[in-house]
């Protein structure tokens, strides 16, 4: 079913615009509630019922959703000059400022140039030993038969690692503050999308306890980060961490300038929070899936035992752990940590024969595309063998995009892959994890895809 709408051109002429197919509601508030209540199912249904492009409204705000890999590639790569970041992430600016995740246009391109050296291959490969050491120390505290919320455990572990690699600092004492700040950000962000931008800004200024607590968490993190920035500025030393690299980066394409303290703070805050949240979720879902597929778990253990022979993994082991990477690839297919991408058009665009006007909000969902049976037969089955080189070569590049794409592709992708492989290898060498019975495991699509109630698992020493 298609919908048409009369629009007035600049010359005052009336023309008829045809929209792509999609759910039609006389009262679009129902669309808003449905897409907010269960967004994963909502976008799956859009793809299944309406095909490779769908249209819906939330209130009076129109949304276009793309599901075809060719269209997704064009949106994220080839049309990058005609689109900008979607508006949803603007709601994170009270915490993240103008970091890479939230900034736009020329400023974003400049910041990306300044941040990129921090993720150079030679720079990050030295962090592998730090990651393995932290994982080993962490798992030594576990007890055989102990029941833990593995989601909470992975958050704590990855937070410690990002604190060391980003700041060269043990942030264990700050872990609870950071965790609360992230929780408030994610919950508040999702609720904020129900409000128009102007109303959101007003609500932020209200003296509500939840907002005061959220601001207090931001102030605590700011105090820590600005203190570290000041110490580095005064000493001029390179601690070998990402913060040192940020402060020493020079924009040699323009004016040889460096980041201000505010810019360094925003990038550090973005890397600090996003850098542990996504990896922790990826590992949590991986252990959840392995617990349900003992044959895959056994194959993983066989590879780890053969390659590592009881020692800690290092950077040079990455190429020798292909099945470990395949397990993580399949986990992030089924539960992509970043489950949706949004762009806003700054020029008219055409997809699937429809013209999307300037100012259109265009979405695509990794979760929905990764579960498309045309791309992945039996998509709800966990099968790491989908990721052999031969199977990967059969699929479109954008049939799988857990780290986004184009000029806004995750700058820390190589760091994240290395961390996930090192941590999975370090922990799975020593432990099996078994799901506790009668618990409710539900994906919660906030900014990242978290388990809503955590995941309790019983540890079994290998």
CATH architecture of 68-461: Orthogonal Bundle (1.10)
pLDDT at 193: 59
pLDDT at 13: 37
Helix (H, G, I), strand (E, B) or coil at 433: strand
Which residue, among 74, 73, 46, has the nearest Cα to 58 in the 3D structure? 46
Instruction: Give the phi and the psi of residue 359 in degrees, each rounded to 5.
Output: 90, 5
Cβ atoms of residues 180 and 303 within 8 Å: no
Q: Which residues of the chain have pLDDT under 70?
A: 1-17, 25-32, 59, 88-89, 91, 174-206, 208, 210-211, 214, 252-254
> CA 220 from chain center: how many Å?
24
Instruction: State the DSSP code for 313.
Output: P
What six digits make up the tokens of 300? Answer: 């993983």
CA 270, 371, 345, 198 torsion-angle sign: negative
Whole-angstrom distance, CA of residue 130 vs CA of residue 38: 39
The strand pair at 449-451 and 361-364 is best described as unpaired
Q: Tell me the β-bridge partners of 63.
A: 56, 361
Specify the pLDDT at position 106.
Answer: 85
In the prediction, which pLDDT does 175 show? 64
Q: What pLDDT is recorded for position 183?
A: 67
Residue 312 CB contacts under 8 Å (≥ 6 apart), including other chains: 129, 132, 133, 136, 426
Residue 238's H or E segment, with its range, is none
Q: How many CB atoms lie within 10 A of CB 26?
A: 5
Statement: the pTM of the whole predicted model exceeds 0.85: yes
- Give the position of tokens 């909502």: 42
Residue 6 has what pLDDT? 42
What is the pLDDT at residue 16?
A: 41
Q: What is the rounded distance in angstroms from the CA atom of residue 103 to the CA atom of residue 231?
A: 26
């Amino acid at each position: 079913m298609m919908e048409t709408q009369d629009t007035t051109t600049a010359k005052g002429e009336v023309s008829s615009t045809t929209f792509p197919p999609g759910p039609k509601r006389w009262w679009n508030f129902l669309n808003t509630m449905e897409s907010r209540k269960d967004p994963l199912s909502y976008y799956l249904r859009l793809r299944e019922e309406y095909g490779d492009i769908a249209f819906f409204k939330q209130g009076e705000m129109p949304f276009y959703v793309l599901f075809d890999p060719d269209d997704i590639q064009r949106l994220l790569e080839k049309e990058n000059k005609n689109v900008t970041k979607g508006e949803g992430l603007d709601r994170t600016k009270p915490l993240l400022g103008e970091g890479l995740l939230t900034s736009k246009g020329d400023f974003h391109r400049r910041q990306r140039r300044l941040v990129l050296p921090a993720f150079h291959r030679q720079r990050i490969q030295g962090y592998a030993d730090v990651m393995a050491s932290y994982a080993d120390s962490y798992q030594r505290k576990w007890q055989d038969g102990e029941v833990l919320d593995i989601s909470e455990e992975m958050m704590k572990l990855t937070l410690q690692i990002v604190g060391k690699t980003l700041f060269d600092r043990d942030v264990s004492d700050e872990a609870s503050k950071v965790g609360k700040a992230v929780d408030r950000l994610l919950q508040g962000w999702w609720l904020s999308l129900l409000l128009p931008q102007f109303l959101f800004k007003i609500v932020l200024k209200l003296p509500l306890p939840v907002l005061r607590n959220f601001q207090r968490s931001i102030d605590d993190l700011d105090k820590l980060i600005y203190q570290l920035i000041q110490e580095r500025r005064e000493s001029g030393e390179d601690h070998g961490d990402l913060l040192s690299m940020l402060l020493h980066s020079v924009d040699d394409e323009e004016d040889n300038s460096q980041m201000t303290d505010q810019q360094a703070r925003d990038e550090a805050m973005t890397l600090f929070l996003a850098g542990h949240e996504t990896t922790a979720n990826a590992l949590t879902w991986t252990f959840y899936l392995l617990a349900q597929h003992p044959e895959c778990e056994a194959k993983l253990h066989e590879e780890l035992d053969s390659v590592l022979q009881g020692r800690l993994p290092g950077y040079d082991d990455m190429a020798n752990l292909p099945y470990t990477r395949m397990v993580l690839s399949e986990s992030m297919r089924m539960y992509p940590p970043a489950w949706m991408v949004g762009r806003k058009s700054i020029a008219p665009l055409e997809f699937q024969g429809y013209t999307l006007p300037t100012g259109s909000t265009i979405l695509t969902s990794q979760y929905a595309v990764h579960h498309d049976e045309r791309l992945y037969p039996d998509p709800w089955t966990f099968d790491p063998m989908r990721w052999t080189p031969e199977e990967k070569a059969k699929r479109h590049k954008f049939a799988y995009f857990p780290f986004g794409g184009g000029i806004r592709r995750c700058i820390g992708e190589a760091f994240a892959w290395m961390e996930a492989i090192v941590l999975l290898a370090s922990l799975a060498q020593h432990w099996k994890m078994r799901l506790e019975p009668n618990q409710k495991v539900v994906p919660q699509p906030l900014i990242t895809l978290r388990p809503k109630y955590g995941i309790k698992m019983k540890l079994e020493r290998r």
